[in-house]
Amino acid sequence: GAVVSQHPSWVICKSGTSVKIECRSLDFQATTMFWYRQFPKQSLMLMATSNEGSKATYEQGVEKDKFLINHASLTLSTLTVTSAHPEDSSFYICSAPSMDSSYEQYFGPGTRLTVT
């Protein structure tokens, strides 16, 4: 199957700073990528859909000015958590949909963010 990577796999930052998370499709092109957040013992929550060459589509309740998404190329999408606070500590996962008819999503390994 296709491979999606994320970097970093974990990060600790101080409150008020910004953190950038990268999501790359390694062996295929992804015009669309999805960003999820997952709190402990909870399911995946879709934050936004990243579209190559255009603005991201944010889910209701997700602040677009706080979670900046840039999909600059067909293999890279970035999520920047600006002015991070402890409540932003979570597991952030990106995914890219399959190009065939299965609609399977290929997930990155996730990024564990801890804001102190």
Partner 1 sequence: GQNIDQPTEMTATEGAIVQINCTYQTSGFNGLFWYQQHAGEAPTFLSYNVLDGLEEKGRFSSFLSRSKGYSYLLLKELQMKDSASYLCAVLDSNYQLIWGAGTKLIIKP
Question: 16 or 109: whose CB is closer to partner 1?
Answer: 109
In angstroms, give the least distance from the CB of 41 to partner 1: 8
Would you tell me which residues interact with partner 1 (CB under 8 A)? 1, 34, 41-46, 91, 93, 95, 102-110, 112
In angstroms, give the least distance from the CB of 24 to partner 1: 14
Between CA 46 and CA 63 the distance in angstroms is: 13
Question: 58 or 110: whose CB is closer to partner 1?
Answer: 110
Question: 60 or 82: whose CB is closer to partner 1?
Answer: 60
Number of residues in the chain? 116
Question: 51 or 82: whose CB is closer to partner 1?
Answer: 51
In angstroms, give the least distance from the CB of 16 to partner 1: 26
Percentages (nearest 5) of helix, strand, coil residues in the chain: 5, 50, 45
Q: What is the 3-state secondary structure (H, E, C) of 6-36?
A: EECCEEEECCCCCEEEEEEECCCCCCEEEEE
Between CA 54 and CA 66 the distance in angstroms is: 18
In angstroms, give the least distance from the CB of 76 to partner 1: 18
